[in-house]
A and B are shown apart, each in its own frame.
Chain A
């Protein structure tokens, strides 16, 4: 956790100087640095962007980081983020291009866009020549007036339109928004090959902990289809933090398959908001694999249009003292939309999993069909899960169901496998793998599903607590 003495010093000084409440003092250094940073941020001077950044800052100044007094944050504390001051990430040296992590079976033909500490790196990215109808650009380049083949006004039209400034986290990301990635899929274009966005965090090696606020905007125009893999990898196990905001616009009748893989370093704080607006008859599927970070929080916030469908699934595999919070809030804002959520947690040692699933059915969203399940497997006496479903229904012709279970491995199943010659460790792995597999089965792309399954299997065969690596092979 980022609370080493050196990391603390600046924060303590700031607190003495301001002499105000703890929360304000905790964010004061961020507010101060904003005024130093803003003239140098890409696109500074653009009216709409200046306003967006200032709105973000104002909101962040008012709310600070979410505290546990807020219901949605009751199980997860961001004190670690407040205790130390995280500097903006510098220009670190990334690994060689052929050593970059990927889920692609063949990296040579991969469609892979790479960010290092939140900065887009075209030199490390590769776009297959055959791809037509998909355009991407670094957000900084786009804001600075070099959009490449991305529609020039894309950022202005969509940035901040899906992820609201409601929480301090989205607000601070928006205030400091500088780089990231913008992807545009033209109307009617269907691309089978996944687009992989690799977020590499070099953090942990630097003298002081760093915090970056990457932003990803995906706009899938009507009738398009695209598969996105968002792959976060940490190279070091020291303290660093990332506060990612992903905005996804799913056009009418468009289909977006989104898989997020989180393999941050052991000392990392990973905070992410994924907001999606799904047009009528559109489909948004999201799968999240949580393996890394000391502390992680995923907010997944889809808003469904008429007849839209949304499938959220995920697996969180935790050990040591990891804390991972998955909080979903699905909003049925129009009639005939369906949502389905399938989450599986495997929690070992004294790790702590949190799942909060909120389903909001707005007035008039008749014929809503919403389903939610969270199952947790506790592998040790110290493992912990907090599961909280929340249904808020303002329409009378809807079908909503939810469930949550927590338990240990089944002794009868273990004995059955062992009675057939399978040793205890293999039997446990088979059963845990099958448990997690039910969530992985929700991924529709076979290649991506295979990559996720391989990562989950690798986690299962990692022998002991605390030996997990930020970057596997």
Chain B
């Protein structure tokens, strides 16, 4: 599904990713953990195609395609979804309009018929009901005036509607209290499927209490330092990142 080989990336000439290797199989859930400044968010942005990051070496193959050669919108249309750590507010554009544009852009890319207003509403209503999201949130401008929890639930709603095959969740747990975290995690768990791979990027182990990963990787100094199963996350929770922070000093 996703094969990252020796990926190097810089921002403003500063190298952040220094040779990432990672393979994610279909339906697998991988967690990438690491201290602040280790390159976790950079990795998610590079995979989603954000401008400003320069890939200076390595390759990323997604579903047999060169992911790095695609524009952000092409990646999304191919089934890559990034849940943002800080979802962006877009005044003047309603959530409904935003989602409808997105759904139909992706359908066009796939050569499918665009949904009309009725079909679209039916699709979205089904998802909001399943996720326990009020219709009121659809009418409001994208993320404007949303609480932290609402923003993250809105990301999960978008993921549910767009039905990606590879979901990158960047610090989805940040800024959430325990109740909000549980709601968001339930939403993500509901979307687990053998056809959907997920990469959870997180600083804390607590998210992994709710979404149990198949594989855990520790990212520090721009490289994956250790990989293991779910037990690695618990070990980090007990010991902290001190081992990785010292070498950085």
Residues of chain A whose beta carbon lies under 8 Å from any beta carbon of chain B: 411-413, 415-424, 426-427, 430-431, 433-435, 437-438
Question: B53 → chain A, closest Cβ, in Å?
Answer: 11
0/1 string, B73-112, CB within 8 A of A gives 1: 1011100011010011011110001100110011001000
Whether the Cβ atoms of A421 and B102 lie closer than 8 Å is yes
The yes or no answer to B158 lying at the interface (CB within 8 A) is yes
Q: For the complex, give the distance between the alpha carbons of A417 and B102 in Å.
A: 8
Question: B154 → chain A, closest Cβ, in Å?
Answer: 11
Whether the Cβ atoms of A413 and B105 lie closer than 8 Å is no
Question: B42 → chain A, closest Cβ, in Å?
Answer: 14
Whether the Cβ atoms of A419 and B48 lie closer than 8 Å is yes
Q: For the complex, give the distance between the alpha carbons of A412 and B91 in Å.
A: 13
The yes or no answer to B71 lying at the interface (CB within 8 A) is yes
Contacts of A423 in B (CB 8 A): 71, 73, 105
Q: For the complex, give the distance between the alpha carbons of A438 and B73 in Å.
A: 27
Question: B52 → chain A, closest Cβ, in Å?
Answer: 8
Whether the Cβ atoms of B72 and A419 lie closer than 8 Å is yes
Whether the Cβ atoms of B92 and A411 lie closer than 8 Å is no
Question: B198 → chain A, closest Cβ, in Å?
Answer: 16
Contacts of A419 in B (CB 8 A): 48-50, 72-73, 75-76, 81-82, 84
26 CB contacts below 8 A, A to B, read A415-B50, A415-B72, A415-B88, A416-B84, A416-B87, A416-B88, A417-B90, A418-B71, A419-B48, A419-B50, A419-B72, A419-B81, A419-B84, A420-B76, A420-B98, A420-B162, A421-B77, A422-B73, A422-B102, A423-B73, A430-B93, A430-B98, A434-B90, A434-B91, A434-B92, A435-B92
Nearest neighbor of A411 in chain B, beta-carbon distance: B51
Contact residues, B38-72 vs A (CB, 8 A): 48-51, 71-72
Q: For the complex, give the distance between the alpha carbons of A416 and B83 in Å.
A: 10
Contacts of A437 in B (CB 8 A): 92
| Other A-B pairs, 20, CB within 8 Å; known A420-B101, A421-B76, A426-B101 | A411-B51, A413-B88, A416-B88, A416-B90, A418-B71, A418-B76, A419-B76, A420-B76, A420-B102, A421-B102, A421-B106, A421-B109, A422-B102, A423-B105, A430-B93, A430-B97, A430-B98, A434-B90, A435-B92, A437-B92
Given contacts A413-B88, A416-B88, A424-B71, contact A430 B101 (CB under 8 A): yes
How many A-B contacts at CB < 8 Å in the complex?
73
Whether the Cβ atoms of B50 and A421 lie closer than 8 Å is no
Question: B93 → chain A, closest Cβ, in Å?
Answer: 5
Q: For the complex, give the distance between the alpha carbons of A435 and B49 in Å.
A: 25
Report, as a range, how many residues of chain B touch the other chain: 20 to 34
Nearest neighbor of B106 in chain A, beta-carbon distance: A421
Question: A346 → chain B, closest Cβ, in Å?
Answer: 13
Nearest neighbor of B79 in chain A, beta-carbon distance: A421
Given contacts A419-B82, A421-B106, contact A412 B88 (CB under 8 A): yes
Q: For the complex, give the distance between the alpha carbons of A433 and B106 in Å.
A: 21
Question: B240 → chain A, closest Cβ, in Å?
Answer: 32
Nearest neighbor of B87 in chain A, beta-carbon distance: A416
Nearest neighbor of B92 in chain A, beta-carbon distance: A434
Nearest neighbor of A438 in chain B, beta-carbon distance: B92
Contacts of B92 in A (CB 8 A): 433-435, 437-438
Q: For the complex, give the distance between the alpha carbons of A413 and B106 in Å.
A: 18
Contacts of A421 in B (CB 8 A): 73, 76-77, 102, 105-106, 109, 162
Q: For the complex, give the distance between the alpha carbons of A420 and B97 in Å.
A: 12
Q: For the complex, give the distance between the alpha carbons of A422 and B84 in Å.
A: 16
Whether the Cβ atoms of B51 and A420 lie closer than 8 Å is no
Whether the Cβ atoms of B158 and A420 lie closer than 8 Å is yes
Contacts of B90 in A (CB 8 A): 413, 416-417, 431, 434
Given contacts A411-B51, A417-B90, contact A426 B105 (CB under 8 A): yes
Q: For the complex, give the distance between the alpha carbons of A433 and B91 in Å.
A: 11
Nearest neighbor of A435 in chain B, beta-carbon distance: B92
Question: A423 → chain B, closest Cβ, in Å?
Answer: 5
Contact residues, B150-168 vs A (CB, 8 A): 158, 162
Q: For the complex, give the distance between the alpha carbons of A411 and B109 in Å.
A: 23
**Candidate in A416, A421, A435, A437 with the most chain B CB atoms within 10 angstroms:** A421
Whether the Cβ atoms of A438 and B91 lie closer than 8 Å is yes
Q: For the complex, give the distance between the alpha carbons of A425 and B51 in Å.
A: 16
Contacts of B76 in A (CB 8 A): 418-421
Contacts of A413 in B (CB 8 A): 88, 90
Q: For the complex, give the distance between the alpha carbons of A426 and B158 in Å.
A: 18
Q: For the complex, give the distance between the alpha carbons of A419 and B81 in Å.
A: 7
Whether the Cβ atoms of A422 and B105 lie closer than 8 Å is yes
Q: For the complex, give the distance between the alpha carbons of A268 and B76 in Å.
A: 45
**Candidate in A412, A416, A419, A422 with the most chain B CB atoms within 10 angstroms:** A419
Contacts of B73 in A (CB 8 A): 418-419, 421-424, 427
Whether the Cβ atoms of B101 and A418 lie closer than 8 Å is no
Nearest neighbor of A430 in chain B, beta-carbon distance: B93
Contacts of A422 in B (CB 8 A): 73, 101-102, 105
Question: B172 → chain A, closest Cβ, in Å?
Answer: 15
Q: For the complex, give the distance between the alpha carbons of A417 and B92 in Å.
A: 14
Contacts of A434 in B (CB 8 A): 90-93
Q: For the complex, give the distance between the alpha carbons of A129 and B158 in Å.
A: 52
The 8 A-B pairs at the shortest CB distance, nearest first, are namely A434-B92, A421-B76, A416-B88, A420-B102, A418-B72, A421-B106, A421-B105, A418-B73
Contacts of A433 in B (CB 8 A): 92
Q: For the complex, give the distance between the alpha carbons of A249 and B240 in Å.
A: 75
Q: For the complex, give the distance between the alpha carbons of A417 and B84 in Å.
A: 12
Question: A246 → chain B, closest Cβ, in Å?
Answer: 30
**Candidate in A413, A434, A437 with the most chain B CB atoms within 10 angstroms:** A434
